[in-house]
Structure 1
Amino acid sequence: MTPPTATSEAPASATGVTTPVRAPVVTGLGILAPTGIGTEEHWSAVLAGRSAIDRITLFDPAPYPVKLAGQVPGFVAKERVPSRLISQTDRWTHLGLAAAEAAIADAGVVPAELPEYEMAVVTSSSSGGTEFGQHEMENLYQHAPDWVGAYQSIAWFYAATTGQISIRHGLRGPCGVLCCEQAGGLDAIGQARRLIRTGAKLVMTGGTDASLCPYGLTAQLTTGQLSTVQDPARAYLPFDADASGYLPGEGGALLVVEDADAAEARGAGPGYGRVLGYAAAFDPPPGSDRGPVLARTVRSALADAGLEPAAVDVVFADALGVPDADRAEAAALAEVFGPRGVPVTAPKTLTGRLYGGGAALDAATALLALRDQVVPHTAGPAAPASGYEIDLVLGEPRRAGLRTALVVARGHGGFNAALVLGHPQQDVPGHNEK
């Protein structure tokens, strides 16, 4: 397949000369997911269709209607996180610190050898330090205010993981957090690209989540969208006629995104892929005469990448598992790409939806698909429901010539995001920031 081409220019310099903007490159991945700890363990499970959905063991789920979830197997914080940080931070941050460490090692970068103010951190968070917060609230109402630890003030906070990663690795450039539920991982990567275009040379980005505790699950139940089916093989079936909602999960992925020239200068390899385009939008309020904006969001991301829909080789779907939402997503994809116009997959059926970590894990999985030229299948669903005009990849992975992948994410409350990723040899920049 001949890679598509596009042009983009940076703002004019003092001499009035514009220079091409190269797409940032992803040089490192750190994955801690229900499908495994480590990039290759996760990828092996995805290709095998090996589900990590099982009964919740982090607490007793017996009193709750949802008893299944995706849990990171064998994660022991003291083996991966400095002991002093364990008591000061939530499990969500423990997972983030471990993922960041793995991503840095995978990228072969030594932060101490690079300018500290040219390295940034942007992560996604959904509910912050939920489990830590629950325990401190228990101390408050079961005992007294002086039982609440001082670290409650930071451990629950949405930016805690960003801050701890920044401190631990000396990444002192612009830092931030995006709280857009399931869409946040793509928004964080989009912000990472923006920071690189404005001077950062390296950005640690992505997200993790760990809201599997009674407080976290109770909060999630209020959406009315979680599946209460007790059979792990039938509980989360996006786009299927028997779809009944989704299952929660924990974990996620962090990515090292670098300026392409800076990565080459330090001798980095070609990396996993390039960030070609990104867009975000927000659905109108319920009852509005305006419809969902997902199709427009996808078109905007493609325009940002300078690509036509025909250039997309695979879509990693949001796949909520709620019939109305699945129908709307299938319609949006058919509108942009044509009926069954592009292979669609949703490996998240193996893990559950990871909220702040979910879209980042989808992006990492899409990069692995580009690397190995294979579309992972969607485990669980038997076939798209009647009227869903999508080419849902089922049964087994599909070999294909992959140059470009689209990742779609929607967050509770109306968040929409789309990210276009390219093969590492496809140096196609996006358009200038809007």
Structure 2
Amino acid sequence: MTTAHDTTTVVTGLGVAAPNGLGTERYWKAVLAGEHGIGELTRFDTSGYPARLAGQIRDFEAEEHLPGRLLPQTDVSTRLALAAADWALADAEVDGGTVEDYGMGVVTSNALGGFEFTHREFRKLWNKGPEFVSVYESFAWFYAVNTGQISIRNAMRGPSAALVGEQAGGLDAIGHARRTVARGTDLVITGGVDSALDPWGWASQLAGGRVTTVSDPERAYVPFDQDASGYVPGEGGALLVVESAACARRRGAPKVYGEIAGYAATFDPRPGSGRPPGLRRAAELAIEQAGLTPEEIDVVFADAAGVPDLDRSEAAALSGLFGPRRVPVTAPKALTGRLYSGGGPLDVVTALLSLRDGVIPPTPHTSCVPDEYEIDVVVEPRDRPLSTALVLARGRWGFNSAVVVRGVRS
């Protein structure tokens, strides 16, 4: 276990399952090339739905990544999470011989549960009877199942948790993992993965009223653009290995991507209260916790809802905190769609890779930002030295989360 005074939390492994790339470097290459993963949803007939575009992962075959015994008991979201966890642990070269199982925990977020699995079992219940329902229905749908399955598969018996905060939950998981390390756990795998691209899951997402009905994949999800009309839902996300700096040194971690330097979460006041939304306050608190000032933030990875009112509100928070057009703002999530609990962790991965390679990826397909927003939206890649990044996420019903990452310091 780490000593009480060692609270520095570093990222040593990354695992990505995204619509535009499986695996960290493949995803990063796609981001820099502007390759998106948005297209017409093909898992069922969408011809009768007002929206038909999704960030769908099309090249993941679970049988190639997981043992057969896990397939009957897992939803697609859990399969993606297990694979991403394997990739992150392999990237970090985690060896159970150097970290005790009770010194390793799992903290994940999930916003949608096992939609596809549970609705398949519901159809069996209604059409055939209860005796045909899988015994795994007892847990395969549950929000905590990704934490549980990753823990079991990798013999991680340390402090663990599952959080639910819609789009903001993935950052909350990373923040909780950081606290877990600070309290003495050597290593935690953390992040989020979601998928709900079956008919019921799709209907539930459309019911929220924020999904765009634009049919052109390159104009459907254009955050901060004057033509923004909503977002495209997606599936996937990212898992990260975070650990104390002391543990990373002791076990000889092959690389350190950066530090989770600050985290904060706030909740919006009730509508009509006259009080401002809580996103700016979350950003301020995360920056303060990192020991930084707003002037020391090099780039912001925005929540970027793609809904005009929400874009306007986020732009006001950013221009108010940093000053008009004082910090570059980007939203590469427009290449994947919004991934719910997976979106924030994927942005954290992207931010760490940006710091590593000294490049800010663009907000694809956004071309005309209203002057009133007063933010510097990155629309072409920018090469520049970077040391810090702020990642933001908002969930429905008032969740706001912010994470500050810092690059490797010499």
Unaligned 5+ residue runs, structure 2? none
Contact 2:92 2:255 (C-alpha < 8 Å) held by counterparts: no
Which residue in 2 is equivalent to 1:364? 349
For the residue of structure 2 that corresponds to 1:86, the secondary structure is helix
Of 260, 263, 278, 2:263 maps to 278
Alignment partner for residue 321 of structure 1, among 302, 306, 311? 306
SS of corresponding position for 1:87: helix
Deviates more, 1:381-390 or 1:121-130: 381-390
Match in the other structure for 1:15? none
Encode CA deviations 1:342-378: one digit per residue, 9 max, x unaligned: 0000000000000011111011111100110100011
Q: Distance in 2 between matches of 1:412 and 1:319?
A: 13
Matches of residues 394-433 of structure 1 in structure 2 within 5 Å? 394=379, 396-425=380-409
DSSP-derived class of the 1:252 partner? strand
CA contact (8 A) 1:54 1:69 kept: yes
CA contact (8 A) 1:37 1:73 kept: no
SS at match of 1:264: helix
Instruction: Describe how 1:110-125 pairs up with structure 2 within 5 A.
Output: 110-125=95-110
1:256 Cα offset (Å): 0.2
> Structure 2 counterpart of 1:278, which letter?
Y
Whether the 8 Å contact between 1:111 and 1:171 is mirrored in structure 2 is: no
The normalised TM-score by structure 2 is 0.97
Instruction: Give the share of equivalent positions with the same residue, in percent.
Output: 56
What is aligned with 2:212?
Answer: 227
Structure 1 Cα separation of the partners of residues 325 and 213 of structure 2: 30
- Cα distance in 2 between the residues matched to 1:216 and 1:25: 35
- Amino acid aligned to 2:407: H
Answer whether contact 1:270 1:424 (CA < 8 A) is retained.
no
1:58 corresponding residue in structure 2? 43
**2: CA distance, partners of 1:232 / 1:112:** 47
Aligned residues: 408
The 5 Å alignment of 1:316-355 reads 316-355=301-340
Structure 2: how far apart are the matches of 1:60 and 1:26? 41
Is 1:128 matched with 2:117? no
Name the residue aligned to 1:78. 63
What residue identity is the alignment partner of 2:32?
A: L
Equivalent pair of 1:342/1:391 in contact (CA under 8 Å): yes
1:88 pairs with 2:99:
no
1:382 Cα shift?
Answer: 0.5
Find the aligned partners of 1:273 and 1:122 in 2 and give their Cα distance.
19
Alignment of 1:21-420 (within 5 A): 21-394=6-379, 396-420=380-404
1:170 aligns to what SS in structure 2?
A: coil
| Maintained 8 Å contact 1:56/1:69 | yes
Contact 1:112 1:170 in 2 (8 A): no
Counterpart amino acid of residue 69 in structure 2? R
What residue identity is the alignment partner of 2:398? G
Query: CA offset at residue 113 of structure 1?
Result: 3.7
AA paired with 1:417?
A: S
d(CA) in 1 for partners of 2:39, 2:96: 38
Residue 112 of structure 1: CA displacement?
Answer: 4.5
Q: Following TM superposition, by how much is the alpha carbon of 1:114 offset from its aligned partner in structure 2, in angstroms?
A: 1.7
In structure 2, distance between residues paired with 1:307 and 1:91 = 40
What is the alpha-carbon distance in structure 1 between the residues aligned to residue 97 and residue 247 of structure 2? 15
The C-alpha deviation readout for 1:184-225, integer Å capped at 9, x for no partner, is 111000001100011100000001111111111111112100
Partner of 1:432: none
Q: Which amino acid aligns with 1:85?
A: L
**TM-score, scaled to structure 1:** 0.92
CA distance in 1, matches of 2:90, 2:348: 19
Return the offset for 1:170: 0.6
SS at structure 1 position matched to 2:47: coil
Q: CA deviation at 1:51?
A: 1.3
Structure 1 residue matching 2:202: 3-state secondary structure: helix
Is the CA contact (8 Å cut-off) linking 1:36 and 1:73 kept in structure 2? no
CA distance in 1, matches of 2:97, 2:106: 15
Counterpart CA distance in 1 for 2:96 and 2:280 is 39
What amino acid sits opposite 2:394 in the alignment?
A: R
- CA-to-aligned-CA distance 1:307-333 (integer Å, 9 cap, x gap): 100110000000000000000000000
How far residue 259 of structure 1 moved from its aligned partner, in angstroms, is 0.5
CA shift at 1:137, angstroms? 1.2
Query: What is the alpha-carbon distance in structure 2 between the residues aligned to residue 97 and residue 67 of structure 1?
Result: 28
Output the amino acid matched with 1:406.
Answer: L
Give the counterpart letter for 2:92 in structure 1. A
State the secondary structure of the residue aligned to 2:306.
Answer: coil
CA distance in 2, matches of 1:76, 1:398: 35
